[in-house]
Structure 1
Amino acid sequence: MRITRVSSAVRAVGAAALVVLAAASPAAADASPSAGPSDGADAPTSAGTSFRTAAEVDQGQTATATASTGDYLYWSFPADAGQRPTVRATVKLPKAHASATWQVDVYDGLRNRQACQYGAQTRTAAQDAPEVTLSCTLRTVRAWSEPWADDPLPGTYYVRLTTVGLRSADLGLPVSAELRVESKDIGGAAAVDGSLAEPLVPGIAVTGADEAGDDEESDTSVAVLSSIEPDDGWSSGWWSDRWVWTGVGGVLAALAGVAGYSLTRGPGRPSRVPPGA
């Protein structure tokens, strides 16, 4: 009898293990870099000169631009909750130039500069070096945060590429730049209990605010400064694989309780015979 109960408990634990493996598959997929649109004609071939004119680039695209040393180059991209974006910029320099320091900065939708978790954000190109490569990996974007925390939040992010400490003799030399943004999906490890009412996209709060007047006037009142968003839309942290692991943990705890009870209650007792039967 006890052997039968032990076998049943083992089978139950084996079934629970299969459930854990099935749940681990999407979690492993989340750990891989997020898929983005392939490089193509939609990738921007120029950069903006300010936050308002920043060229919009989707994650997974390679944006290109030609400029002169001393120019400020701006791009913008969307980042959603649970993503850890990495910005990589490559500047191809002219054949003859003095040493110069290049820097890439990333700002959120409120134009607050975000610190790089790791990466070579500033690099000095040696004299006559053909190119210089910079990178900046942000902290994981959170669905919600305290106002004082300065955590990355879902919305539009801006990239500014420029050179610092440039000699006057090198001003105006032609350069070309490439920018690529990719993200790693962290998943439930970065999930928080909360979400934003709207992503931090500049101008989204005043979209359609002026509904009075004719159609022509209402069209001019729409002031969304950024039209890009993730392919699947803004999630704002309403779902993560933490829900899966919480459910699996509850099931395993219940199975462990049933198995422990079956193993420790001892052999069954015969039913009591009423006196005088």
Structure 2
Amino acid sequence: MRITRVLGTALLALGLAAGPAAADSSPSPSASADGAAPTRAGTSFRTATELQQGQSATASASTGDYLYWSFPADTGQRPTVKATVKLPAAHGSQTWQLDVYDGLRRRQACQYGAATRTAEQGEPSVELACVLRTVRGWSEPWANDPLPGTYYARLTVVDLGSADLGKPVGVEVRADSKDIGGAAAVDGSLAKPLVPGIAAKSEDSGSGSKKAVLSSFGSDDGWSSGWWSDRWVWTAIGGLLAALAGIGGYALTRGSGRPSRVPPTM
């Protein structure tokens, strides 16, 4: 009975400990519906249009333009960028490409998805996707690991006939992410997330003139603080289960406490 009570208490503690971990592993919330979706795209890193995760942006452009958007990604997230290009009714074969860069403007490899696709003659649209590696809290200076901060999505056509150059196209881009949690945690963190560059917005400096400001994603608020992750919860759970296994093994092997055979008397 005592062992049963111990096991019951341990299972209750296990459920309470796993609760925060399950909450942390839920997908990131979508962008607020109060903010209007962007309807344009930037033409360079410096003028990239800001895009929140879970938010779709649209833009009208000409075939051959370089289109840029930026979005935030935090530690433990696995970002996914999707783009749909609506092509004109009459067009030849053309190849589109979606590239994603981190805050240091290093091109990040796609772990999954078709980031380069060809639309054959007459196809109405082409869809592209890029699933990045999980964002790490810290990395070696020589590594190309994704780090928390601003990410840039660039969309452009890389192969087409000269007759299609300059034709109007419609574009829709969306950035999402999956929260991987403590499975991707590392022992270290950046002092500040990588939020470089100048955003395509301005604020009043107080003197009536306008001045450029940093990206409004916020380099001080809303980012992971560093050492805590749900892997601490699972480490504690592992230690608890090991202790229970030791208690159970001892209870099963210690016997009744009396010798199994009484020695003969002299």
TM-score (norm 1): 0.82
For the 8 Å contact 1:84–1:185, the answer to whether it is kept is yes
> 1:136 matched to which residue of 2?
130
> 1:179 matched to which residue of 2?
173
- Distance in 1, matches of 2:243 and 2:184, equals 27
Out of 250, 254, 257, the position equivalent to 1:261 is: 250
Which is worse superposed, 183-192 or 161-170? 161-170
> 1:99 matched to which residue of 2?
93
> 2:241 matched to which residue of 1?
252
| Aligned ranges 1:1-150 → 2 under 5 Å | 7-39=1-33, 41-150=35-144
For the 8 Å contact 2:18–2:233, the answer to whether it is kept is no
- String of CA shifts for 1:113-148, please: whole Å, max 9, x gaps: 000001000000111111110000000000001112
Residue 26 (structure 1) shift = 4.2
Residue 244 (structure 1) shift = 0.8
Q: What is the RMSD computed on CA atoms of the aligned residues?
A: 2.8
Structure 1 position 242 matched with structure 2 position 231:
yes
| Aligned ranges 1:157-236 → 2 under 5 Å | 157-203=151-197, 224-229=213-218, 233-236=222-225
Which letter does structure 1 place at the counterpart of 2:214? L
Structure 1 residues 41 and 262: CA distance shift in structure 2, 3 A: closer
Which is worse superposed, 141-150 or 242-251? 242-251
Unaligned runs of at least 5 residues, structure 2: 199-203, 259-266
Equivalent position SS for 1:176: strand
Equivalent position SS for 1:117: coil
Residue 41 (structure 1) shift = 4.4
Structure 1 residues 130 and 142: CA distance shift in structure 2, 3 A: same
Residue 10 (structure 1) shift = 2.7
Percent identity, aligned pairs only, is 72
Which is worse superposed, 157-166 or 19-28? 19-28
TM-score (norm 2): 0.85
Which is worse superposed, 104-113 or 31-40? 31-40
For the 8 Å contact 1:101–1:166, the answer to whether it is kept is yes
- Distance in 1, matches of 2:98 and 2:185, equals 28
- Distance in 1, matches of 2:238 and 2:211, equals 48
For the 8 Å contact 1:109–1:200, the answer to whether it is kept is yes
Which letter does structure 2 place at the counterpart of 1:225? L
Equivalent position SS for 1:66: strand
Equivalent position SS for 2:111: strand
Residue 12 (structure 1) shift = 1.6
* Aligned length, in residue pairs: 253
Structure 1 residues 219 and 233: CA distance shift in structure 2, 3 A: farther
